[in-house]
Structure 1
């Protein structure tokens, strides 16, 4: 609505700007940022200002309530009322407010005169429903306050209060003070609500319309615009997950519902896939003055990390149990096969202990890497370093082995090194072992490893296979699903092993 809009009644056309200016009641028109957009003559008369001096200026630059120590509080009250009318779109009233006005003296100096006012602040909307102006209607009630507070007898005071509405003003002041106190308390509660670490939302009515939600809730759902929207519209992915029937039940029965470690799928950013979030929560009924359930208070906190940690712990315990069982089975097999090859208890103990140590070495490597795997070169070094680093030469790229493959190859390298130390190249002073490996076919990686002994005593093929040979062949063919060739040229044993790297055998 512009100041020059015309009001037509029959043949009579009235300029509303003239009506506004002729009103005996003081009015000032403000923009949403509280700049003076217009005023009538009554406002200029009561404030002692000129149109040119204040038009377009911020209200509290034009009128700042003077230098008194109460001035900031006076300004705060008026500003708060104007902002409330602007932000809520509702008329707001100040029953009584103290606000000093500058008066120009004859000598040109300005002094500030204490005045008391009653004010009403009304939002003015455009066709789109947006607040475009604020209309302040002020009434100077200084004389009433002066009469009411002047010293007099109780009888005079009672009669005078009735005449000048002092009692009414007193009650208005009390109500206004109570409202300010309640507003402060409400703001504090809202601040606590918004900053609460757990997520909170208030849902209203059978459609579960979002009335309020805090920052934690906004973060949970990806900061979507949900205010004033029904749940199915605000969070459409929720509709098929069973939470709406739970809310309906709370609304119908008035009984709360508590959920523990429940998964909910949410789209936490635009165009992102659904993400499972785990939450603890409670749906608490909200009742009106008659005890009827009118909404649901949602409160809870995200426990995704705790749930995933519990799952990881359970998985680790299950995996540990599996590994322990398989390790015990391996130890049992080593014990039985070693016993068959050694009738003497002393030699049995030596062979059995050496194989357990080999198994332990590989376990140590895996433990250092949280059982995510081990490097082939590290395992080979662990199992051969007791025979001298200069006597075992290795050549090949870094190869990351899965835990099961690492354990099997660790046992294989131990048996080969032990055999070389007893009967092969490492039993002679000048003997050496050369180990070369490579990766073939990158699309389906396959490890090819050649163990070649040289400089040792002459070699002949054995008449029968010992435990070491059987253990090596069993690990390659059964545990690693690979192939092995053992050649016995006179110059030294050659072992060729080929295993796939993609397969992860059971531990």
Structure 2
């Protein structure tokens, strides 16, 4: 047979079929009709080809006409969009008929229709085939101009009622299914339906798609769709649920997912449940996946715990510092009045550094701000600050704040700031940017002659303890004849002592 012969034969068979057939384009325009369709509708082929179906046949002016048109349109669109055959067991649809005097009236008819998509080699819908059957004769109530026998009424009416009942049930089920699917797709948590032993994705909602980076996973097994989950336990959980029929629930489970093409694995925390899906024989045929991304909550809880732990650590350290200040101050001040004044000034210095740190949410404090506060009582003309902007870690800021307070207090009592013309020069710099070290020189000039003290007071001991123990740094106190020189070196990128 020649290639063209089969086309001719099909066209001839289409035209000669006693069943009414209509071919539509995907936008529901009439592409072709056969002779039987022309006969049953009374239409002229040349007048209807190329016209929109529902303009050509609009179901008349009756009250039910819009609903009848909607049912037929919905069935055609469903067949087109799903690429699956769709049936209308019973549908009322009035057709125009001309009377002997030439007047056109609409005649109530009852039809049964099947709509079949015609696909090309690429699987695209190119035509829709409508096969209709006029079943008006099965409804005695419609055939008002013909005598009705009891048998006709019993059999015909019963058959039609059963067909209508089945179609209404199917329509109701379809409506309920569509509502469930819509709820499924709009669920705030992620949802997916996996089918078969390989856990192939049959359906998933937008939240699930967002969770996995909007990958194309439809029809794929979970091992192919999400290969990065290998070794994380999730595939094994699914296998166990399918085999045992027992659900599995995960709480704040860590998962590493690739959420951008070629991107790194991102750490997420998930609450989820794997629920087995059973068929009518109670056999497991799939798994329902439902859950929520709780990463933000888990990280917030971890941050809160870290903050509480850090707060406990700081409170303990602060209390220990206050206790040490109180004990050492009491040892060097027999008089309660002088003890109270000295102790209060030291606690205020500690408090001020705490204020600076609180303003930055305990992320650090600026070196210049600490120095300015501890020396502001002497005025800017007597204090010369020279150095780059330097952010200090919280522990370092607290210790240096106490050290600068002691140096300023000693300078005011015994050093350069105890005379009208004395000054303090403070220079600092940062060395080794890969492992930063602060180098600072406190130099007093213009004050009384300085000599090394016979014994070390609390201030000296506090300075040396903070530098060497708390900050793992070094300090050199030089008692030069023209004023004290304190040279200190402190590492800035180290873990603070507990």
Give the corresponding residue for 1:82.
76
Q: Distance in 1 between matches of 2:101 and 2:376?
A: 106
TM-score of the two chains, using structure 1 as the length reference: 0.88
- Is residue 289 of structure 2 the alignment partner of residue 298 of structure 1? yes
2:277 to 259, 272, 286: 286
**Superposition RMSD on alpha carbons, in Å?**
2.9
Range 57-66 or range 204-213, more displaced? 57-66
Q: Distance in 1 between matches of 2:9 and 2:282?
A: 53
Q: In the superposition, relative to structure 1, how do residues 95 and 351 fare at CA in structure 2: closer, same or farther (>3 Å)?
A: same
- 1:187-202 counterparts in 2 under 5 A? 187-202=178-193
Q: Distance in 2 between matches of 1:205 and 1:27?
A: 39
Q: Distance in 2 between matches of 1:109 and 1:431?
A: 121
Q: In the superposition, relative to structure 1, how do residues 402 and 84 fare at CA in structure 2: closer, same or farther (>3 Å)?
A: same
Report the alpha carbon displacement of residue 196 of structure 1 after superposing the two structures with TM: 0.8
8 Å Cα contact 2:109-2:142 kept in structure 1: no
Report the alpha carbon displacement of residue 469 of structure 1 after superposing the two structures with TM: 2.0
SS in 1 for 2:483: coil
- 1:249-264 counterparts in 2 under 5 A? 249-264=240-255
Q: In the superposition, relative to structure 1, how do residues 275 and 443 fare at CA in structure 2: closer, same or farther (>3 Å)?
A: closer
TM-score of the two chains, using structure 2 as the length reference: 0.90
Q: Distance in 2 between matches of 1:269 and 1:465?
A: 64
- Is residue 152 of structure 2 the alignment partner of residue 160 of structure 1? yes
Range 408-417 or range 53-62, more displaced? 53-62
Report the alpha carbon displacement of residue 27 of structure 1 after superposing the two structures with TM: 0.8
Give the corresponding residue for 1:397.
388
8 Å Cα contact 1:148-1:166 kept in structure 2: no
Query: Per-residue displacement from partner, 1:412-461 (whole Å, max 9, x unpaired)?
Result: 11111111221223223343333232334444433232323344333333
Q: How many residues align?
A: 496
SS in 2 for 1:122: strand
SS in 1 for 2:193: strand
SS in 2 for 1:6: helix
SS in 2 for 1:488: strand
8 Å Cα contact 1:148-1:160 kept in structure 2: no
Q: In the superposition, relative to structure 1, how do residues 253 and 157 fare at CA in structure 2: closer, same or farther (>3 Å)?
A: farther
SS in 1 for 2:254: strand
Q: Distance in 1 between matches of 2:479 and 2:226?
A: 73
Q: Distance in 2 between matches of 1:108 and 1:150?
A: 22
Give the corresponding residue for 2:50.
56
- Is residue 313 of structure 2 the alignment partner of residue 322 of structure 1? yes
Q: Distance in 2 between matches of 1:505 and 1:170?
A: 86
SS in 2 for 1:493: strand
2:229 to 225, 238, 260: 238
- Is residue 195 of structure 2 the alignment partner of residue 204 of structure 1? yes
Q: Distance in 1 between matches of 2:453 and 2:26?
A: 101
Q: In the superposition, relative to structure 1, how do residues 355 and 151 fare at CA in structure 2: closer, same or farther (>3 Å)?
A: farther
* Gaps in structure 1 of 5+ consecutive residues: 9-13
8 Å Cα contact 1:205-1:294 kept in structure 2: yes
Q: In the superposition, relative to structure 1, how do residues 108 and 393 fare at CA in structure 2: closer, same or farther (>3 Å)?
A: farther
Give the corresponding residue for 2:132.
138
SS in 1 for 2:420: coil
